[in-house]
Amino acid sequence: MQSVINGQTFLGIELGSTRIKSVLIDKNHAIIASGSHQWENALVDGSWTYSLDDVWSGLQLSLRNLSQNIKTQYNMELKSVSSIGISAMMHGYLAFDKHDNLLVPFRTWRNTTTATAATALTEEFQFNIPQRWSIAHLYQAILNEESHIKDVAFITTLAGYVHWKLTGEKVIGVGDASGVFPIDSNSNYESIMVEKFNTLIASRNFEWSLQDLLPTIKNAGDKAGTLSPEGAKLLDPSGILQPGATLCPPEGDAGTGMVATNSVAERTGNISAGTSIFAMIVLEKALSKVYMEVDMVTTPAGKPVAMIHCNNCSSDIDAWIKLFEESLSVFGVNVDKNTLYETLYRKALEGDINCGGILTYNYYSGEPITGFDEGRPLLVRKPDAKFNLANVMRSLLFSAVGTLKIGMDILDGENVRLDQLLGHGGFFKTQGVGQRVMAAALGVPVTIMESAGEGGAWGIAILAAYAVQKAESETLESYLTEKVFVNEKGASMEPCPKDAQGFSEYMKAYVSGLAIERAAVEN
């Protein structure tokens, strides 16, 4: 493989909530090899976190797996690449002092402990500040009078942190930055809001002001540093991978999902459905008012995006399927996991259209859209419910998109129009099932591209390629349409009227039943 020998390749690495994936692509954006490493967050002192040691060991194992695949397929070592991109789960809080020491464990997007700060900042800015945003975490720590606050010198996201350690550059892609602090139309932090925040905290007499703490913003296509010798060692302790590669701006998983589905132009949108679920809709015009349920973020090129983000999606499905797998094993029946998932997903299509009186809530953690700081996974049913496997599976799939539906209804009320809605993530892996449920839930056709399974690691690899291959003044939209997806095919599915009717009936029960979820949390 000449491109590997010459280093004319592009490496994308994404740190997702359950997997760190590495993808190597050629100049035509085709995947040469990939590697991955599974990891899990931990609840430590009431906060969801990943240790930084796990970040680096996981990155190394993921890249080692990719390198081994190259050696197996092509009998050569991965010694150099042209450019690299780093992506990670968005938002959360990584705070460092002036000596670059981590002040508190990484606080992830999954934490719902910043409601007071998020509400106060939303009112102050007249701009929705979700609980998982970095600025909400910072302000909540101030309100809590946490001892580390006086020593903060730099805050960033997980992608920004990894990029910094690989290059020495404290920068962030505009899409990821829009989950740190609100962004203006020129891809800068909103200066009026920055000053409002500084005024809010003035009486506390910190030695810093907000602008001192924030990473520098870069747009897609910018060059954002070079892999240093120290950075190369962090990725590959063996020393085979050489320094010198260009790095594109680090991005969040929402932005790389948009790139991987060619959803960066106006009137396009995508839904990422895995551990969490979120929809990203590129807007033609601003919304008429502030909605607590809608995040205003940007594409990697800085275009305004309405984001509906829900903390919970597939974890409850996974837990139930694990239980079914254990039940089978008790009787000595061992079923391949992929076969088990596909069979049970398809079983859901046999259920009653409204799930036969079964209601499930997939709330492993809090869900701000419906006002929950904590969650309790639940299955409830009426005495006369049709309690069978098909209806249980159908309810689990419906529940996975229930909270998203509540948020998307707001955009529908704002007359936001879509030419295409693309789905990606594990929820869509079984062909025609998750796609059918989503189309029925949202009342719009849902398309799954052939490349959708490649995910955000492929998306950030494309951004890495764009940073060094784009023509002068070539927009990201043009690059994707004309060079990446020019021959891409996708399967589209229209909403089934019966499924849509059944989902509507289910949602009436779902909204009413939130009182049950509330009682479970409170008691």
Do 395 and 515 reside in the same domain of the chain? yes
Domains identified in the chain, total number:
2
Query: Which residues contact residue 482 at a Cβ distance below 8 angstroms, ignoring those fewer than 6 apart?
Result: none
Asked if 402 and 515 sit in the same domain, the reply is yes
pLDDT in tens, 444-485: 999 988 765 567 899 999 999 999 999 998 999 999 999 999
Residues in the chain, pLDDT under 50: none
196 within domain boundaries: yes
Residue 485 lies in a domain: no
Q: Are residues 371 and 518 in the same domain?
A: yes
Contact 442, 421 (CB under 8 A): yes
Tell me which of 168, 190, 214 is where a domain ends: 214
Residue 401 lies in domain: 315-406+501-522
Q: Any idea what the CATH number is for the domain that residue 127 is in?
A: 3.30.420.40
254 Ramachandran zone, left/alpha/beta (phi>0; psi -120 to 50) = alpha
Residues 199 and 348 reside in one and the same domain: no
Q: Give the pLDDT of residue 45.
A: 84
Query: According to the model, what pLDDT value does residue 321 have?
Result: 97
Taking the C-alpha atoms of residue 80 and residue 2, their distance in angstroms, rounded to an integer, is: 12
Query: What's 160-221 look like in SS3?
Result: HHHHHHHHCCCEEEHHHHCCCCCECCCCCECHHHHHHHHHHCHHHCCCCCHHHHCCEEECCC
* The pLDDT of residue 261: 87
**What proportion of the chain, given as a percentage, has pLDDT over 90?**
84
Distance CA 289, CA 229 (A): 49
Asked if residue 368 belongs to a domain, the reply is yes
Structural domain includes residue 35: no
Query: Do 319 and 192 belong to one domain?
Result: no
pLDDT at 452: 59
Angle between helices 315-330 and 337-347 (to 10 degrees): 110
171, 196, 214 - which closes a domain? 214
Whether 393 and 516 map to the same domain: the answer is: yes
The residues, ordered by sequence, that sit 6+ positions from 352 with a Cβ below 8 Å of its Cβ are 386, 390, 391, 394, 502
The whole-angstrom distance between residue 244's C-alpha and the CA centroid of its chain comes to 29
Say if 283 falls within a structural domain. Answer: no
Q: Is 125 inside any structural domain?
A: yes
Among residues 214, 231, 263, the one where a domain terminates is: 214
Q: Cβ of 199: how many Cβ atoms within 10 Å?
A: 10
Q: Is 367 a member of any domain?
A: yes
Q: Is residue 341 part of a domain?
A: yes
| DSSP character at residue 483 | I
- pLDDT for position 424: 84
Please check whether residues 205 and 319 belong to one and the same domain: no
Find out whether 222 and 251 touch, Cβ atoms under 8 Å.
no
Provide the whole-model pTM: 0.82
154, 155, 365, 391, 423 from 149: Cα distances, Å: 11, 11, 26, 50, 40
pLDDT of residue 5: 65
CA–CA separation, 11 and 227 (whole Å): 12
